[in-house]
Amino acid sequence: MVLTGLKANDKCRIRNVSGGGYARKRLYELGLNSGAEVKMVKNDFGPIIVSLSGQKLAIGRGLAQHIVVDKE
């Protein structure tokens, strides 16, 4: 499952990040690495908003499609 498949308040753990070098580097810089626990805050329209270690991050849908997660 990819990150865009989650609903608000769903919790997940990042399994891996697919995609090219830019996507991987950008997501790594944001702290979205394999094993990170993420909570979905908003996923209705526009960018996706997730909570990572208490910080809210806005991620574009195209970039979020590269994040493979395991739902908890």
Q: Token digits for 36?
A: 């990170």
Tell me how far apart the alpha carbons of residues 66 and 72 are, in angstroms, rounded to a whole number.
19
- Residue 66 phi, psi dihedral angles, 5° rounding: -85, -5
Q: Token digits for 64?
A: 């979020």
Tell me how far apart the alpha carbons of residues 43 and 39 are, in angstroms, rounded to a whole number.
11
Q: Which CATH superfamily is domain 3-71 in?
A: Ferrous iron transport protein A (FeoA) (2.30.30.90)
pTM across the whole model:
0.89
Radius of gyration of the chain (CA): 11
> Domain segments of the chain: what residues?
3-71
pLDDT recorded at residue 32? 93
Residue 22 has pLDDT above 90, yes or no: no
